[in-house]
Each structure stands twice: as structure tokens, then as C-alpha cells.
């Protein structure tokens, strides 16, 4: 078990591939979604060292901050607001190469320059959370991040 947690250097593809396998065994062994969100955020951070990685959960008409790694963040985000609220409203991943060019972006940190927000769906196709990853560099995320992160959040059983 311990050796499964060793993250070797390698390409983004290799890192995601290993990360996916680790998260697959982690989520198969644990049914609590908050515990899984916490470990998924930690494992993504350990692998890529982004500025901020975390989850917001849908609670009523708002997103409420869930497990995360990184600096202090906004606690609540309204439906349709910012990148997270837009991913929730539009039911699709938002890849934002420059947050200053995203209308209504919520700046929890002025150091965040680009981000990706991936909706998490339940079995009925309802958005029940979003995975938000922020980078202090422009254009950090691309189609490969989108595909892998969508695969990763689909492992969450909610
Ligand atoms: N960037 C997000 C807000 C959350 S923080 O960045 C952690 C947004 O605009 O939705």
C-alpha cells in the first residue's frame, strides 16, 4: 500500500495516469465522499503543486467550501457566479487560461492567474460539487487536464 503513494517524476500524462490509479483504489476502499474529496485534493496537490486545489459542495442555492489544499478561500459562491458557479450552472468543465478575461471571476487570491473547474455529478446527472484548481501561472490547464480530472471526479461515489 505504502509504495502505491510514491509519485515518480514524469510527464503530465504519466502523473495523471498514476494519480488516477491511486484515486481509483482509494475511492474503492472508502465510501465517505468528504474523506475522498479531502484525499483527492491532497493527492492532486502532492502530484502537481498547484496554487489551490479543492472542492465546493452544492448546498441549496450555493456552493459551500469543502476539502481543499492551499490558502484561505471564499466560503460560499452563488449559483452561476464566478468560474465555479458557471461550471455548476452550465454542467460542464470550465478551462480558464486567464482569469482576468473571465467575466465575473471571483478572486479569492490575486495570485491566481488561470484555473479549471470540473463539475461532479451524481448518478442522476445532478451537479453535487465542483473541483476547482487554481494556478499562479497563465494557461496552466488544457484538454488533457480536463479529460483526466473529469475521469478522476467520476470516481467519487455520492
Ligand atoms: N476562482 C473561483 C473562486 C474560488 S477560489 O478561486 C478558490 C471562481 O471564480 O469561481
Q: What average pLDDT does this structure show over 137-155? A: 97
Q: Assess whether the C-beta atom of 105 lies below 6 angstroms from ligand 1.
A: yes
Is residue 10 scored above 70 in pLDDT? no
The domain tally of the chain equals: 1
Ligand 1 mutation pick, 50, 115, 116, 118, max ligand atoms within 8 A of CB: 115
Nearest atom in ligand 1 to the alpha carbon of residue 117 is: 10
Asked if residue 7 belongs to a domain, the reply is no
Nearest atom in ligand 1 to the alpha carbon of residue 87 is: 10
The terminus-to-terminus CA distance of the chain in angstroms comes to 25
> What would the pLDDT profile of 99-120 be if each residue is shown by its tens digit?
999 988 888 888 999 999 999 9
| CB 6 within 8 Å of CB 126 | no
Asked if residue 138 belongs to a domain, the reply is yes
Asked if residue 41 belongs to a domain, the reply is yes
Asked if residue 2 belongs to a domain, the reply is no
Q: Which domain holds residue 74?
A: 12-153
Asked if residue 3 belongs to a domain, the reply is no
The better pLDDT of the pair 21, 9 is held by 21
pLDDT (0 to 100) of residue 157: 76
Kindly report the protein residue whose alpha carbon is nearest to atom 7 of ligand 1: 73
Q: Assess whether the C-beta atom of 84 lies below 6 angstroms from ligand 1.
A: yes
Asked if residue 22 belongs to a domain, the reply is yes
The rounded Å distance from CA 114 to ligand 1 centre is 10
Asked if residue 56 belongs to a domain, the reply is yes
Is residue 90 scored above 80 in pLDDT? yes
Is residue 2 scored above 80 in pLDDT? no
pLDDT (0 to 100) of residue 107: 86
Is residue 3 scored above 70 in pLDDT? no
Indicate the Cα dihedral angle 56, 43, 11, 5, nearest 10°: -160
**pLDDT averaged over every residue in the chain:** 93
| CB 82 within 8 Å of CB 116 | no
Burial (CB count within 10 angstroms: exposed 0-12, middle 13-18, buried 19+), residue 91: exposed
Q: Assess whether the C-beta atom of 74 lies below 6 angstroms from ligand 1.
A: yes
Binned at pLDDT 50, 70 and 90, residue 137 comes out as very high
Binned at pLDDT 50, 70 and 90, residue 4 comes out as low
We report the CATH number of the domain holding residue 122 as 3.30.450.40
Nearest to 131 by CA among 72, 21, 20, 53: 53
Q: Assess whether the C-beta atom of 88 lies below 6 angstroms from ligand 1.
A: no
Lowest mean pLDDT across 1-5, 49-53, 101-105, 137-141: 1-5
| CB 94 within 8 Å of CB 86 | yes
Q: Assess whether the C-beta atom of 131 lies below 6 angstroms from ligand 1.
A: no
Asked if residue 55 belongs to a domain, the reply is yes
Instruction: Evaluate if pTM is beyond 0.85.
Output: yes
Amino acid at each position: 500500500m505504502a509504495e502505491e503513494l510514491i509519485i515518480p517524476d514524469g510527464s503530465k500524462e504519466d502523473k495523471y495516469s498514476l494519480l488516477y490509479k491511486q484515486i481509483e483504489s482509494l475511492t474503492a476502499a472508502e465510501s465517505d465522499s468528504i474523506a475522498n474529496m479531502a484525499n483527492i485534493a491532497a493527492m492532486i496537490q502532492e502530484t502537481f503543486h498547484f496554487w489551490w486545489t479543492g472542492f465546493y459542495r452544492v448546498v441549496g442555492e450555493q456552493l459551500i467550501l469543502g476539502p481543499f489544499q492551499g490558502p484561505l478561500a471564499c466560503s460560499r459562491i452563488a449559483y452561476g457566479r464566478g468560474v465555479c458557479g458557471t461550471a455548476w450552472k452550465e454542467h460542464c468543465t470550465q478551462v480558464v487560461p486567464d482569469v482576468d478575461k473571465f467575466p465575473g471571476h471571483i478572486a479569492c487570491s490575486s495570485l491566481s492567474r488561470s484555473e479549471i473547474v470540473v463539475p461532479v455529478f451524481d448518478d442522476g446527472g445532478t451537479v453535487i460539487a465542483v473541483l476547482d484548481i487554481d494556478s499562479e501561472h497563465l494557461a496552466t490547464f488544457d484538454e488533457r487536464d480536463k479529460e483526466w480530472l473529469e475521469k478522476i471526479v467520476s470516481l467519487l461515489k455520492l
